[in-house]
Structure 1
């Protein structure tokens, strides 16, 4: 049976780096959160900087991505860089927990969307993240970077994870720990392997 793993986390925390390393090892590919057909629409949504438009766009995209992943899973493992969890977490910050939870319950998301076997939650402290965002050339994305720099996105994610019954592998890539990318990767891989083999961590 093929495995579905979602990588979630704060912008500039190392999520994409770790997911890319993992997919190379299992001979797979990283699937992006947005379906190809919606990429142009995303640019329009970004230009409006509308919280409500962003919520509706990403929710629709999550449902479309669920169908796409279901088909791919028939023949291979799927590694997805962000999914429904980031949509909900960032919208909890922008629109409030009550609004997002009401939508979550009304749409019966846990019954109507394909859920992963494991969530890998990658995080880092504010100093590390801010340094990495600045090293990208000072371009701040309104929906991601700006929220990450000014809010506790980790807290929002942890609220969201409680709405699901899915094991979470947490990896902290903060510079203060002095671990290399390879160190973080090996730690992450060991924890994923434990969950997939039924060993609690």
Structure 2
């Protein structure tokens, strides 16, 4: 299977991706846990360009091109080889992030995002879990985490609220693939909701 986790910054999706990968490995599955942007050597180099620096460093159009380039390398070098050998891939973000961040919240670029995706990626996860959490709570978590990868958090609460609406809309747009998971509570409680949905 190819499983993705999505949601706003600080919602807990990275934690949940790790917990699910660990649970699947414990059940005997060959699991590759990966992330975007990143997940391959070339994509990790592009990651630094995207997640560090000031919020307006790139236009939404440039971001979209950079994310697509990183995703293509990730797909070629990590995701497809793992699936081809029969493994399960769990990724912290995939194409839905670009649909929401650049396609709706950063710019009105959904048509461009979809055309680039069809041309260069043409792959969707089997199941996507959107960890749904109040934007103010998630933003506080993101700030508490610290570090240099805070470019999108620096765009403020209004931006995070637009993202949250965009991720919720995905569950309506792709009902066969996307599951909205309540992100409130202890990590193990959220993990139980993910496992039940899987």
Runs of 4+ in 1 over 3 A off after TM superposition: 44-48, 137-140, 158-166
Deviation for aligned residue 1:153: 0.4
- In the alignment, the residues of structure 2 paired with residue 26 and residue 148 of structure 1 have an alpha-carbon distance, to the nearest angstrom, of 35
Report how many aligned residue pairs link the two structures.
182
Within a 5 Å distance, the mapping from 1:35-50 to structure 2 comes to 35-45=40-50, 46-47=52-53, 49-50=57-58
Task: Please give the TM-score of this superposition, normalised by the length of structure 2.
Answer: 0.79
| SS of the residue 2:16 aligns to | helix
* 1:23-55 deviations in Å (ceiling 9; x for gaps): 011112311222321322333454481123211
Unmatched segments (≥5 aa) in structure 2 = 26-30
Q: 1:44 to 1:115 in 2, by over 3 A?
A: closer
SS in 2 for 1:113: coil
- Taking the TM superposition and a 5 Å limit, the aligned residue runs for 1:121-132 are 121-132=130-141
Unaligned runs of 5+ in 1: 193-201
Aligned to 1:95: 107
Deviation at 1:6, TM superposition (A): 0.6
Check whether the contact 1:8–1:119 (CA below 8 A) recurs between aligned residues.
Answer: yes
RMSD: 2.6
What per-residue deviation string (whole Å, max 9, x for no partner) do you get for residues 126-179 of structure 1? 23213212322486722x2134622220222244556656421211223xxxx3
Deviation at 1:17, TM superposition (A): 0.7
The verdict on how the C-alpha distance between 1:158 and 1:59 changes in structure 2, with shifts beyond 3 A counting, is farther
